[in-house]
Amino acid sequence: MTITPTQRVHDDIELSSESFWAQTARQRDASFATLRRERPVSWQPPAYGSLMPDPDDPGYWAVVAHEDVISVSKAHDVFSSSPELGGVMFENVPAEFLDATQSILAMDEPRHGITRRLAHAAFSPRQIRQIEQQILHQAESIVTTLLEEGPRDFVEQVSMRLPLWTISGMLGVPEEDRQRLVDAVDAMVGYNDPEYIGDRDPFMTLFEGMTTLHDIAQKMIDDRRSRPGGDDLMAALVDAEIEGHRLTDDDLRSYFCLLAIAGNDTTRNTTSHGIKALLDHPEQKKLLIENFDRAIPGAIEEFVRWGTPVMTFRRTAKVDAVVGGVDVNAGDKVVMFYSSANRDESVFRDPWSFDITRNPNPHVGFGGGGVHFCLGNHVARLQMRALFREVLTRVPDLSLGEPEMVTGHFMHAVKRMPCSF
Ligand code: HEM
pLDDT at 201 over 80: yes
**b/e 315-341 (16+ beta carbons within 10 angstroms → b):** bbbbeebebbeeebeeebbbbbbbbbb
pLDDT band at 254 (very low <50, low <70, confident <90, very high): very high
- Whole-number Cα distances in Å, 398 to 132, 278, 308, 392: 26, 11, 23, 8
Residue 43 to residue 6: CA distance in whole angstroms: 11
**Residues 169, 178: contact at Cβ < 8 Å?**
no
- HEC string for the chain: CCCCHHHCCCCCCCCCCHHHHCCCHHHHHHHHHHHHHHCCEEEECCCCCCCCCCCCCCCEEEECCHHHHHHHHHCCCCEECCHHHCCCCCCCCCHHHHHHHCHHHHCCCCHHHHHHHHHHHHHCHHHHHHHHHHHHHHHHHHHHHHHHHCCCEHHHHHHCHHHHHHHHHHHCCCHHHHHHHHHHHHHHHCCCCHHHHCCCCHHHHHHHHHHHHHHHHHHHHHHHHHCCCCCCHHHHHHHCEECCEECCHHHHHHHHHHHHHHCCHHHHHHHHHHHHHHHHCHHHHHHHHHCHHHHHHHHHHHHHHHHCCECEEEEEECCCEEECCEEECCCCEEEEEHHHHCCCCCCCCCCCCCCCCCCCCCCCCCCCCCCCCCCCHHHHHHHHHHHHHHHHHHCCCCEECCCEECCCCCECCEEECEEEC
pLDDT in tens, 55-114: 889 999 999 999 999 999 999 999 999 999 999 999 888 899 999 999 999 999 999 999
pLDDT score at 328: 97
pLDDT in tens, 358-415: 999 999 999 999 999 999 999 999 999 999 999 999 999 999 999 999 888 999 999 9
Strands 312-317 and 79-80: antiparallel
**Residues 405, 415: contact at Cβ < 8 Å?**
yes
Residues of the chain with pLDDT > 70: what percent? Answer: 99
Which comes out higher in pLDDT, residue 55 or 20?
20
pLDDT band at 2 (very low <50, low <70, confident <90, very high): low
Q: Which atom of ligand 1 is nearest to the CA of 163?
A: 27
| CB-facing half-sphere around the CA of 69: CA atoms within 13 A | 29
pLDDT band at 135 (very low <50, low <70, confident <90, very high): very high
Average pLDDT value for residue range 305-318: 98
Average pLDDT value for residue range 203-214: 92
Mutate to test the pocket of ligand 1, among 63, 256, 266 (most ligand atoms within 8 A of CB): 266
- Angular region, 403: left φ>0, alpha ψ -120 to 50, beta rest: beta
Which comes out higher in pLDDT, residue 389 or 203?
389
Distance from the alpha carbon of residue 380 to the mean position of ligand 1, in angstroms: 9
Average pLDDT value for residue range 168-181: 90
pLDDT score at 1: 58
Residues of the chain with pLDDT > 90: what percent? Answer: 77
Average pLDDT value for residue range 304-330: 98
Q: List ligand 1's pocket residues with C-beta within 6 A.
A: 73, 104-105, 116, 258-259, 262-263, 266-267, 270, 304, 309-310, 313, 365-368, 370, 372-376, 379-380
pLDDT in tens, 275-302: 999 999 999 999 999 999 999 999 999 9
Distance from the alpha carbon of residue 17 to the mean position of ligand 1, in angstroms: 26
pLDDT score at 149: 97
pLDDT score at 16: 96
pLDDT band at 245 (very low <50, low <70, confident <90, very high): confident
- Angular region, 325: left φ>0, alpha ψ -120 to 50, beta rest: left
- Among protein residues, the one with the nearest Cα to ligand 1's atom 15 is 372
pLDDT at 190 over 80: no
Burial class (CB in 10 A: 0-12, 13-18, 19+), 6: exposed
pLDDT score at 416: 95
Distance from the alpha carbon of residue 309 to the mean position of ligand 1, in angstroms: 10
Residue 45 to residue 8: CA distance in whole angstroms: 10
pLDDT score at 7: 84
pLDDT score at 123: 80
Distance from the alpha carbon of residue 365 to the mean position of ligand 1, in angstroms: 9
Q: Which atom of ligand 1 is nearest to the CA of 307?
A: 5
β-pair partners for 77: none
Distance from the alpha carbon of residue 267 to the mean position of ligand 1, in angstroms: 10
pLDDT score at 163: 92
pLDDT at 191 over 80: no
- Whole-number Cα distances in Å, 224 to 118, 124, 218, 249: 16, 19, 10, 12
What homologous superfamily is domain 8-420 in, according to CATH? Cytochrome P450 (1.10.630.10)
Closest CA to 73 of 303, 313, 261, 308: 313
Quote the longest CA-to-CA distance of the chain.
70
pLDDT in tens, 264-278: 889 999 999 999 999
Mean pLDDT value across the chain: 93
Amino acid at 35: L
pLDDT at 194 over 80: no
- Whole-number Cα distances in Å, 201 to 183, 204, 205, 407, 411: 16, 5, 6, 18, 20
- Among protein residues, the one with the nearest Cα to ligand 1's atom 40 is 105
- Among protein residues, the one with the nearest Cα to ligand 1's atom 23 is 266
Average pLDDT value for residue range 252-262: 94
Distance from the alpha carbon of residue 411 to the mean position of ligand 1, in angstroms: 12
Distance from the alpha carbon of residue 366 to the mean position of ligand 1, in angstroms: 6
pLDDT at 50 over 70: no
Residue 308 to residue 277: CA distance in whole angstroms: 13
Amino acid at 249: D
